[in-house]
Chain A
Amino acid sequence: MPKLKKDWWKITGGLLVAYSLIAGLSIHVPQLPIIYESIRNLFYHVSMWFTMTTMMATAFIFSIKYLRQPLAKTDTAAVQAAAVGLFFGFLGIVTGMMWANFTWGKPWTNDPQLNGAATAILVYLAYFVLRSSIDDQEKKARVSAVYNIFAFVLMLVFIGIMPRLAEHSIHPGKSGNPALGVKGLDPTMRLVFYPAVLGWIMIAFWIWKIRIRIKTIHQKIAEL
Chain B
Amino acid sequence: MLTNKLFVVIGVITLIFIGLFVYLLFLDRKTQRLEKELDELLKKQSKNT
Contacts and interface: CB of A to CB of B under 8 A. Distances in A.
A binds B: yes
A21 B14 contact: yes
Given A21-B13, A25-B13, A26-B10, A2 B31 contact: no
A10 B29 CA distance: 13
Contacts, number: 52
A2 B35 contact: no
Given A18-B17, A18-B18, A25 B28 contact: no
Contacts of B13: 21, 25
Given A217-B35, A221-B38, A25 B9 contact: yes
Nearest to A216: B35
A22 B18 CA distance: 12
Decide if the interface of chain B is mainly helix, strand, loop or mixed: helix
Interface string A199-224: 00001001100100110110011001
A26 B2 CA distance: 7
Interface string B8-49: 011001100110010011011001101100100010010000
A206 B1 contact: no
Given A18-B18, A28-B1, A220 B10 contact: no
Interface string A3-21: 0000000100010011001
Interface of B: 1-2, 6-7, 9-10, 13-14, 17-18, 21, 24-25, 27-28, 31-32, 34-35, 38, 42, 45
